[in-house]
């Protein structure tokens, strides 16, 4: 049916092109396919960069030059062997509610927009997107672009800068990926193509099926029929691999029961149970994934009070809308449940702010002074300028790194500093069984994480829990990227991918009706 393109003849080394990976839905597999393609190309010796014109996510990281981009693009950069750069994600939308988002352009917040007011800015942002992409194409041999959501959102097509609007403006060949695990993948792939107008359809060069479980022979007739219906090949069927759970785009990507990762048996004779509050506007939920990599640590997202009853450690993660999410905690009883919890509690960024005595916010919610949960003797004031930095320090006696993304500033605090900067300045608070910090990524430091788990187990009365001595979080992430590269090499028609990067979408594809949305009225 297709060649996997695994031989070493004609290894791609002189590519000068770009490719767009679009998806039938959000979470269809765009981010991981882009990461896999980046890893495969980099291993083939091709200078490769990722690109996502516009991302909508509260899961972000800080670049070396102090900008902010989507976490998925930082992972894709790592797949290429590159440091994260604001050029890899020139427009980032950070939702603060159902109808408004903060706009980050080339790493810097430039204001708030509603869904309607954002349309007026699209032309200006498209110019930024295209000039950034042109710069990357001049510098790298291959640029692998990721779309956003679905390219067939016909209500948004006129102002699109992330999917077919970008593909048309930059003449990018497009592959559409669909998630077969959701069901209905053939309808998703066919329908996505059919809703595009003829000029958009001309750039769609093939399909990829993601998360397949079962006998490929049973799937083959459907692939053949899809090609007969559309005139376009399926360039690969990527199998389901349960190891691929790190760095999820959002917290809804985890398992149905809220469990994060695949918990391994304990190193000691007791488990440590971690409950992570899934806030409505949670940001950087991936902070807790490092805990889920530890043997004997069961990490679960929770949304109601009863799930805290048997938890050893409670984590309140970051939030893009701290005051609103604090209000939600109180409305559904989680605030009281956290206050009554007699074991350890960790607050990260917005969660740290919620654990304090007070929050003065005239920036984000404009609510003025609001009482916090009072578990830490800390006062917070929001400032218009966002803190973006990648500090180093020491925590629990171990060297640590992390990154900060927040408007809130500590104006008063008592208790020990959780982290100490090189100049001796304390960061965060450690007070009895409660800890808080503005630092994201702190738990990714292996030696610190082991000390933190000992601290948490001690306060939880889990004397039989013992942290494993050799968990390597960075190694786990690198292994996942290698696995993605292997999946691309083994299950994708890499010769066809090479051809798309070298020559673009081939001419003469069939137009599939209805070929765009009908005019109404």
Interval 358-385: pLDDT, tens: 999 999 889 999 999 999 999 999 999 9
Task: Check residue 8 and give its pLDDT.
Answer: 39
- DSSP conformational letter for 287: G
Q: Which residue carries 């990762």 as its tokens?
A: 261
The residue with tokens 């990490």 is 299
Which residue bears the tokens 């190694």? Answer: 475
Q: Is the pLDDT of residue 13 over 50?
A: no
Look at residues 498, 488, 506 and name the one whose alpha carbon lies nearest to residue 15.
498
Q: What is the percent of the chain where pLDDT is above 70?
A: 93
CATH of domain 251-473: 3.40.50.880
Produce one character per residue of 6-38: b if its CB has 16 or more CB atoms within 10 Å, e if not. eeeeeebeebebbbbbbbbbebbbbbbbbbbbb
117-139 per-position pLDDT tens digit: 777 788 889 999 999 999 999 99
CA angle at residue 82 from 80 to 84, to 5 degrees?
Answer: 115
Note if 349 is an active site residue: yes
443 contacts 436 by C-beta, under 8 angstroms: no
CA distance 249 to 45: 28
The answer on pLDDT for 521 being more than 70 is no
The Cα 394–Cα 420 span in angstroms is 5
Q: Which residue has the tokens 């981010």?
A: 31
pLDDT in tens, 254-311: 544 678 888 899 988 999 999 999 999 999 989 999 999 999 999 999 999 999 999 9
Separation between Cα atoms, residue 294 and residue 292, nearest integer Å? 5
SS3 203: coil
Asked if 318 contacts 351 with a C-beta cutoff of 8 angstroms, the reply is yes
Q: What mean pLDDT do residues 488-512 have?
A: 96
Q: 251-473: same fold as 17-233+493-503?
A: yes
Question: Annotated catalytic residue: which of 80, 145, 293, 349?
Answer: 349
Q: Cα–Cα distance between 233 and 193 in angstroms, integer?
A: 13
Extract the tokens encoding 386: 């966002």
Phi-psi region of 340 (alpha: psi -120 to 50; beta: other; left: phi over 0): alpha
Inter-residue contact 236 to 491 (CB < 8 Å):
yes
Name the residue among 143, 164, 149 with its Cα closest to residue 19: 143
Nearest in space to 76 (alpha carbons), one of 108, 16, 12, 31: 31
* pLDDT of res. 517: 65
Q: What are the residue boundaries of the structural domains of the chain, listed by start?
A: 17-233+493-503, 251-473
- The CATH fold of domain 17-233+493-503: Rossmann fold (3.40.50)
Per the prediction, the chain carries an average pLDDT of 91
- Is residue 272 a contact partner of residue 462, using CB atoms and an 8 Å limit? yes
Burial class, 369, CB count within 10 angstroms (exposed 0-12 / middle 13-18 / buried 19+): exposed
Average pLDDT over residues 397-410: 96
Please give the Cα distance from 395 to 253 (Å, whole number).
Answer: 31
Q: Rounded to an integer, what distance in angstroms lies between the CA atom of residue 446 and that of residue 430?
A: 19
pLDDT at 257: 60
Of the candidates 403, 408, 411, 410, the residue with the CA atom closest to the CA atom of residue 350: 408
Q: How far apart are CA 94 and CA 96, in angstroms?
A: 6
* pLDDT of residue 2 exceeding 90: no
pLDDT exceeds 90 at position 392: yes
pLDDT band with cut points at 50, 70 and 90 for residue 249:
low
Task: Compute the average pLDDT of residues 482-502.
Answer: 96
According to DSSP, the residues that pair with 237 across neighbouring strands are 209
The dihedrals phi and psi of 285, each to the nearest 5 degrees, come to -60, -20
CA dihedral 203, 206, 211, 213 (to 10 degrees): 160
pLDDT of the residue at 248? 67
Per-residue pLDDT, 466: 95
CA dist 262 and 417 (Å) reads: 33
Catalytic residue among 341, 440, 459, 491: 440
* 341 is annotated as an active-site residue: no
CB 55 within 8 A of CB 72: yes
pLDDT at position 120, please? 77
- The whole-number pLDDT of residue 246 equals 72
CB 160 within 8 A of CB 167: no
Q: Which helix (H) or strand (E) holds 130?
A: helix 122-139
pLDDT given at position 9: 39
User: 484: which DSSP letter?
Assistant: H
Beta bridge partners of 203: none
pLDDT digits (tens, 9 = 90+) for 139-195: 999 999 999 999 999 988 999 999 999 999 999 999 999 999 988 999 999 999 999
């Amino acid at each position: 049916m297709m060649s996997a393109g695994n031989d070493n003849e004609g290894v791609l080394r002189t590519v000068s092109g770009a490719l767009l990976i679009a998806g039938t839905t959000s979470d269809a597999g765009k981010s991981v396919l882009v990461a896999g393609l980046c890893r495969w190309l980099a291993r083939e010796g091709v200078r490769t960069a990722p690109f996502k014109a516009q991302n909508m996510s509260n899961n972000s990281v800080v670049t070396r030059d102090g900008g902010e981009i989507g976490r998925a693009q930082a992972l894709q950069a790592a797949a290429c062997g590159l440091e994260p750069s604001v050029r890899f994600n020139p427009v980032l939308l950070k939702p603060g509610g159902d109808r408004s988002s903060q706009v980050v352009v080339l790493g810097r917040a430039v204001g708030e927009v509603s869904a309607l007011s954002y349309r007026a800015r699209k032309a200006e942002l498209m110019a930024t997107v295209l000039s950034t992409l042109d710069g990357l194409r001049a510098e790298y041999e291959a640029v692998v672009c990721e779309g956003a959501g679905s390219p067939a959102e016909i209500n948004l097509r006129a102002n699109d800068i992330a999917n077919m609007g970008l593909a048309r403006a930059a003449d990018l060949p497009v592959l559409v990926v669909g998630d077969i695990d959701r069901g209905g993948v053939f309808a998703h792939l066919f329908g996505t193509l059919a809703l595009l107008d003829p000029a958009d359809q001309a750039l769609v060069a093939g399909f990829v099926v993601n998360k397949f479980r079962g006998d490929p022979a049973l799937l083959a007739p459907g692939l053949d029929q899809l090609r007969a219906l559309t005139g376009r090949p399926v360039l690969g069927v990527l199998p389901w691999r349960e190891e691929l759970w790190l760095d999820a785009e959002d917290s809804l990507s985890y398992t149905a029961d809220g469990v994060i990762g695949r918990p391994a048996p304990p190193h000691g004779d007791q488990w440590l149970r971690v409950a992570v509050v899934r806030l409505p506007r949670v940001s950087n939920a991936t902070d807790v994934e490092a805990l889920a990599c530890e043997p004997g640590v069961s990490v679960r997202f929770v949304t109601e009070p009863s799930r805290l009853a048997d938890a050893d450690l409670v984590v309140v993660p970051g939030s893009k809308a701290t005051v609103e999410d604090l209000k939600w905690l109180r409305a559904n009883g989680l605030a009281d449940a956290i206050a009554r919890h007699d074991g350890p509690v960790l607050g990260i960024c917005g969660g740290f702010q919620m654990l304090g005595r007070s929050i003065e916010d005239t920036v984000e919610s404009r609510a003025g002074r609001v009482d916090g949960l009072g578990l830490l003797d800390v006062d917070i004031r929001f400032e218009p300028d966002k803190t973006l930095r990648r500090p180093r320090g020491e925590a629990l006696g171990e060297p640590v790194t992390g990154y900060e993304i927040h408007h809130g500033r500590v104006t008063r605090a008592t208790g020990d500093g959780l982290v100490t900067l090189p100049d001796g300045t304390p960061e965060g608070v450690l007070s009895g069984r409660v800890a808080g910090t503005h630092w994201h990524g702190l738990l990714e430091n292996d030696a610190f994480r082991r000390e933190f788990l000992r601290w948490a187990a001690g306060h939880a009365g889990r004397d039989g829990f013992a942290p494993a001595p050799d968990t390597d979080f960075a190694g786990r992430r690198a292994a996942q990227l290698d696995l993605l590269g292997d999946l691309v090499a083994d299950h994708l028609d890499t010769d066809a991918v090479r051809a798309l990067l070298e020559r673009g979408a081939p001419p003469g594809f069939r137009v599939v009706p209805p070929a765009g949305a009908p005019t109404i009225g």
